[in-house]
Amino acid sequence: MAVPPGWCDPNDPNNPGNQNPDPSPFTEPPATQIIPGLFSNLCSKGWRPILITGLLRDMLVRHFAVPSNITEEDLRKYIWNENPPTGILIESIHRWRGDLVEKRPAIIMKRNAYQNMRFGIADRVRTTEDGHVEFTTGWVGSHTVFCIHGTGASVEILATEVVSYLNRFHQVIVEYLGLLRWNVTEVGAIAEIEESKESFVVPITIGWAYAENWRLELESMKLRRIALSTLLSC
């Protein structure tokens, strides 16, 4: 799969998914440093849950924007367009409005809870030669993608298309984008939406994990010793 325009270049040394990373588990630059001139926050700050939401939306938008990408022939008439009206609505749950869906299919993304996964004692990796301490920790979570369509059969077709697309390239996504995990973990049961008796939904859960690296740089040298004679003379 070719790297889409606007994504991080896998040959960029600042890309967390670089194929030839530094042997150190800590990735430069520090998380608090923003590299001027870079378009993507991923290259500057590393992964965040909101960036995974954006990744999901970006992938699905690119897939449904070109009819030849869509494997299910019945879905090729529902083409995503940036300007309304669009053939299929693809948005995060924060921007979803039921009145905009109407009779169109829709794909809505929602972040679920995520947990910390420690790699070592106190997340500590090492102390550098200049006295700075480097840390790394893991975050494990998931997103749910809700596929919505007007009939039970049509929403099954839409869900199958989405599952197939998100799962086929999971290894490429992990390698190119520096994630620890990315895969479809569950496809839920079909259900009728309570607010709209003419729409059905299938939830798809995508599991992910990534590492967060940072460094603490002390503003002053460590206290090497305490003179007892000074304390006793007080």
Residues pairing with 119 in the sheet: none
Q: Which residues contact 94 (CB under 8 A, 6 or more apart)?
A: none
Segment 110-143, tens digit of pLDDT: 999 999 988 878 777 777 777 778 888 889 999 9
CA 173 vs. chain centroid, Å, equals: 10
d(CA 76, CA 214): 45
Residue 16 pLDDT class (50, 70, 90 cuts)? low
Segment 150-166, tens digit of pLDDT: 889 999 999 999 999 99
Q: How many CB atoms sit inside 10 A of residue 119's CB?
A: 13
Please state, in angstroms and as integers, the Cα–Cα distance from residue 19 to each residue in 22, 86, 175, following that order. Answer: 10, 38, 7
Query: Letter for the amino acid at 5?
Result: P
For the chain, the domains span 41-217
Q: What is the mean pLDDT of residues 87-111?
A: 81
Residue 23 pLDDT class (50, 70, 90 cuts)? very low
Residue 85 pLDDT class (50, 70, 90 cuts)? confident
* Strand bridging mode 191-192 / 124-127: unpaired
- Stronger pLDDT, 81 or 8, i.e. the higher one: 81
pLDDT (0 to 100) of residue 118: 84
Q: What is the mean pLDDT of residues 50-64?
A: 92
Signed CA dihedral, 132, 24, 139, 117: sign only: negative
Q: Which residues contact 219 (CB under 8 A, 6 or more apart)?
A: none
pLDDT (0 to 100) of residue 137: 86
Nearest Cα to Cα of residue 191 among 146, 226, 231: 146
pLDDT, averaged across the chain: 78
41-217: what fold?
A: STM4215-like (3.30.2000)
Q: How many CB atoms sit inside 10 A of residue 144's CB?
A: 16
Q: What is the pTM of this model?
A: 0.71
pLDDT (0 to 100) of residue 100: 61
- Stronger pLDDT, 55 or 44, i.e. the higher one: 55
